[in-house]
Amino acid sequence: MKVELQVNGTRRVLDVEPRMTLVDCLREKLDLNGVHTGCEHGICGACTVLIDGEPARACLMFAVQADGYAITTVESLAPAPGELSVIQDAFCETHGTQCGFCTPGMLLVAHALLKRNPEPTRADIVEAISGNICRCTGYGQIVEAIALAARRLAGSNLGTEGG
Amino acid sequence: MSAPFKFVSTNRRVREDRRFVVGRGNYVADIRRDGTLHVAIVPSAHPAARIVAIDAAAALAMPGVHDVVTGAELAAAVEAMMNGLDTPQVRRYSLAVGQTRYSGEWVAAVAADSRAIAEDAAEQIEVAYQPLPHVIDVEQALAPSSPLVHPAHGTNVLLDKSFVWGEVDRHFAQAPRQLSFRVTWGRNSTVPIETFGVLAAWDPWHEMLDVWASIQMPKYAEQIARALRLPANAVRVHYDVDVGGSYGVKRGIKHTVLVGYLARKLGRPVRLIEDRLDNMRSGDAHGPERIFDVAVAFDDAGIVKSMKMRALDNVGAYAGRAPFQLGKPIGAIVGPYRIESVQYRALSVMTNKAAQEAVRGFGQSPTNYAIETAIDRVAAALGLDRLEVRRRNFIRREEFPYLIPSGTRYDSGDYHTVVDKVLAHADWPALERERDRLRATGMLAGIGIAACLEPSGGNSSFEPLLNEKNTTTTWMDSCRIMIDGLGHVTVTIHTTSSGQGHETLAATVVGEVLEIDPDRIRVVRPDSLASLPSNSPVGSRMAVMLGGAAFHAAGKLRRKLIAIAAHRLGVAADALSYAGGAIADRAGQRLEWADLVTIAHRNFHLMPPGFEPGLEVTHVEQVPTGHALPTPDGRVQMYPCHSFEFHLVLVAIDPELGRTELRRYLIGHDCGTVINPHIVKGMTLGGIAHGIGAALMEEFVYSEDGQMMSQSFMDYLLPSAHEVPKVEIVHHCTPSPFTVLGQKGSGESGYLGAPAAVSSAINDAVSPLGIVFDKLPIRLTAISDAVAAARDRNRDR
């Protein structure tokens, strides 16, 4: 089936099997390896992407269902090669990642949260990431990273980040 | 080298993070080779059954299907996988041979153009089974009447070894008091978010099997080569694969032998990426499942003189390396306490459950749970304060290095101080008031306490201790440093990593010794054929072992630079001082880094006699203290270093729902010199979260008919950000005298005490109702049921 996706700001027309999930499509057809496959039943959140700006599980959606939507993956977050976004830099500053497998999903939910709520409380951050499982960090340094990013964005003239 | 350090212990960023935050990790599923075939598995429907026939005709007829392989074919072509123990009749292959031994066990494998086609084809394969009697319960498996998991082995017992260290009988006979109890550690695991995966490609012209895998397995390449009957130098494992979490379990030999065999047979790259069901049901990655029967002999002051422990482990259907998880805790069998004698019986027993694998701590966390339960019970029996009983039994600072009855010399520690610091930070009286306030509101509330050790630096002394044919006395790790012709430094490490920041570790240590900015040091991972002898990041060992290797390699390089300068300047080496890469004498003669590089790389005529050109050094690090085989009476120096942790946790439990809320969580942590504070903090917080899961949520449950019931994340619950509280860490540093920087391990920190602490807190909370929980996990339903039953009992009275 033909499907038309807006992926990271670029229009992509693809021919996919109807049963192909969005996560498999992004990885296998578009080489977007930053989206990860963790459980394939919608619990772990490793496959999180933004669909029209909202976090969604790319494993619970067929690629054909994403037709016409704007899809954001972690690959679009860095403003330039070798340059980190404020949120990415905050994750490096607090070491909010270990093995890195859940990290793209965490970054995307953080991104969506800070766009919606530039001054989140700790409870807001915990709620935002609670659908994404991390087995390495115990979440502490992820929460710190997002709080740090919020402070830095508030103190800068960047506003919420694009992407 | 001693503090203060320039780079060690400073809050430097972790270099690996940069690639992960942009989605540029190099995970096994990201590696693509043209023409790759994908594997799907046919699982056994029965916990035990004879395989009568396998009909793959329909599957093979499907477009895109290239092969179906069965256990019979595979067993004729490969060697059985290695067992840790001397149990030659417990034979294990990637696929079941002749009979299946647990539900989900791999019976056949399909190779096809895509995973989807392979899965479709797997469903078309018809297996005729003749069900056999099975056994799930470990105590039933011990009974003479039990069905045998491996009839050829003649018993379900893989290991039954008893040790007596010290005068246990006399101590028990003379002790004024004794108590005994049973606690049970449920079967859980680390369950990484990335499942295990492997890709193998065979090149018949080079006679080379290339392997990319999400692996954390010591001697991985050797084991694959042996099983596939290849020379070890025909197996090339690529260590530059990022592993998406492991915490012990990603051992993957059975997966790799299967895809290696298929890759050679089919002449195509073959990959197997577990899906979540494969991973949980048949990845052979469950952790220990253990019943402890413990007795302690003590006096009226609460001083514990002696302990008897029987650990009965349900190891599942095959042997592997997992039974050694009963051996490693021998190195810290008395925990942080001055228990003078110990009797220990280690029983590893097979059942028709999935095979077990190494899990974070390698058996230490269950053992710590048993020891800490003993201390809480002693306090309760005497009506003494739990903290006071611990203080009275702790080994004292001035007693280190301290020899425990089972033969290990603990390196260092200051347990009393760590506890005092945590209590001060927590405001202990306020914590008790808060508990009592919660109780007054109708909640169940309790404070949990756990003190325990993290043995670190991983040697493998448990191997010869539990298997007399095994003579292993080294478990090395290594490092190479090269300075190129332009003066830039490249460091190699020889293993995969799964999030532990080893590149940062190596760069920090080399930078410290050479006095150059670690950010200027490149760290690379050669493949296994270009690597020095190394093991993998198991046993909380890399700070000690890779840190030690990097330190010593850098020291050799520094001495080489000084020798070159001494020759060039015509002075004695000890007349020179090294600072920031430049070398000078007191008279003002000076050679810069670039001068030394030029001499080494271009001016052989200026090199000292006997020196090789270039600037390259290697160091293979032997485990500190680990040099000897066990004594005939079963004593051995296990790991060299012993980190200490002290947990304090306040829980509030809704008595109707049974939901445990962790209101406050503190940990005092002493792992000696910290190399990177961010990494140690992350390990500790992550370990606590993992331990909370083990204490409250996570268990692989089997039905009586042998089916695994927790097959998804809907049934096997992992802690989310809601379940893990904010943790307050109180640091302390008692350097290890046995390591180069005073460092100890921290890869298992948090996990080794959290289950004991949470159990202690819940038991404190429910003790007013006369309830005792003696099995982990303590699920919400277990609590609400027990509370309801207790209330009924009280009402009836």
- Measured between CA atoms, the residue of chain B closest to residue A20 is B116
pLDDT digits (tens, 9 = 90+) for B667-683: 999 999 999 999 999 99
pLDDT above 60 for B102:
yes
Over residues B271-327, the pLDDT tens digits come to: 999 999 999 999 999 999 999 999 999 999 999 999 999 999 999 999 989 999 999
**How confident is chain A (163 residues) per 10-residue block, as mean pLDDT?**
96 96 97 97 98 98 97 97 97 98 98 98 98 98 98 79 45
pLDDT band at B627 (very low <50, low <70, confident <90, very high): confident
CB proximity A86 to B under 8 Å: no
Do A78 and B194 count as a contact with CB atoms less than 8 A apart?
A: no
**Does pTM surpass 0.95?**
yes
Phi, then psi, of B289 in degrees rounded to 5: -135, 110
Whether chain B has a CB inside 8 Å of the CB on A98: the answer is yes
pLDDT digits (tens, 9 = 90+) for B37-65: 999 999 999 999 999 999 999 999 999 99
Average pLDDT for B593-618: 98
Contact of A39 with chain B, judged by CB distance below 8 Å, is answered with yes
Residue A155: the pLDDT is: 85
Which pLDDT score, from 0 to 100, does residue B46 have? 98
Q: Given pLDDT bands bounded at 50, 70 and 90, which one contains residue B710? A: very high
Measured CA to CA in angstroms, residue B679 lies from B9, B117, B139, B356, B676 at distances of 10, 42, 41, 28, 6
- Predicted pLDDT of residue A162: 45
The pLDDT score that the predictor gives to residue A158 is 63
Enumerate the β-bridge partners of residue B349: B157, B314
Q: Which residues contact A94 (CB under 8 A, 6 or more apart)?
A: A141, A142, A144, A145, A148, B678
For residue range B507-536, what is the model confidence (pLDDT) as tens digits? 999 999 999 999 999 999 999 999 999 998
Q: For residues B184 and B288, is the Cβ–Cβ distance under 8 A?
A: no
In this prediction, residue A156 carries a pLDDT of 80
Q: What is the mean pLDDT of chain B?
A: 97
Q: Which residues of A touch B25 (CB under 8 A)?
A: 99-101
**Taking the domain B17-23+476-621, which CATH number applies?**
3.30.365.10
The whole-number pLDDT of residue A160 equals 53
C-alpha dihedral sign at B300, B301, B306, B307:
positive
Distance CA B506, CA B518 (A): 9
Residue A163: predicted pLDDT: 40
pLDDT at B3: 61
Which chain A residue is nearest to residue B19, measuring alpha carbons?
A: A100
- Give the pLDDT band (50/70/90) at residue B458: confident
State residue A4's pLDDT score: 96
Partner-chain contact A137 B23, CB within 8 Å: no
The mean per-residue pLDDT over the stretch B100-105 comes to 98
pLDDT at B4: 85
The stretch B727-731 carries a mean pLDDT of: 98
Q: What is the pLDDT of residue B634?
A: 95
SS3 call for B777? coil
Note whether A75 contacts B23, CB cutoff 8 Å.
yes
Distances in Å between the Cα of B289 and the Cα atoms of A11, A56, B285, B357 are 52, 36, 12, 11
Residue B443 pLDDT > 70: yes
- Residue of A43, A126, A141 with shortest CB distance to B722: A126
Looking at residue B578, what is its pLDDT? 97
Domain extents in chain B: 17-23+476-621, 31-132+193-246+251-282, 290-461+629-796
Question: Which of the 8 DSSP states describes residue A25?
Answer: I
Domain B31-132+193-246+251-282 has CATH 3.90.1170.50: yes
Facing B21 at nearest CB: one of A46, A107, A126? A107
**CATH architecture, range B290-461+629-796:** 2-Layer Sandwich (3.30)
Per CATH, B31-132+193-246+251-282 and B290-461+629-796 having the same topology is answered no
For residue B690, list chain A residues with Cβ-Cβ distance below 8 A.
135, 138
For chain B, say whether A74 makes contact (Cβ under 8 Å).
yes
Q: Give the mean model confidence (pLDDT) for residues B8-27.
A: 98
Q: Which residue of A has its CA nearest to B751?
A: A138
Question: What is the CB-side half-sphere exposure of residue B270 using CA atoms within 13 A?
Answer: 28
Interface touch A99/B24, C-beta < 8 Å: no
Domains of chain A with bracketed CATH:
2-76 (3.10.20.30), 86-162 (1.10.150.120)
Interface contact B29-A101, CB threshold 8 A: no
Q: How confident is the model at residue B790 (pLDDT cuts 50, 70, 90)?
A: very high
Q: CA-CA distances (angstroms) from residue B772 to B307, B427, B512, B663, B759? A: 21, 27, 51, 21, 10
DSSP B529-551: GGPPS---S-TT-HHHHHHHHHH
Nearest by CB: B21 against A37, A40, A88: A88
CB contact under 8 A, A95 and B13: yes
Q: Please report, rounded to a whole number, the percentage of residues in chain B having pLDDT higher than 90.
A: 98
What does the alpha-carbon distance between residue B762 and residue B653 come to, in Å, rounded to a whole number?
A: 8
Q: Quick check: B796 pLDDT over 80?
A: no
Examine the pLDDT at B588 and tell me if it is beyond 50: yes
In angstroms, the CA B91 to CA B97 distance is 9
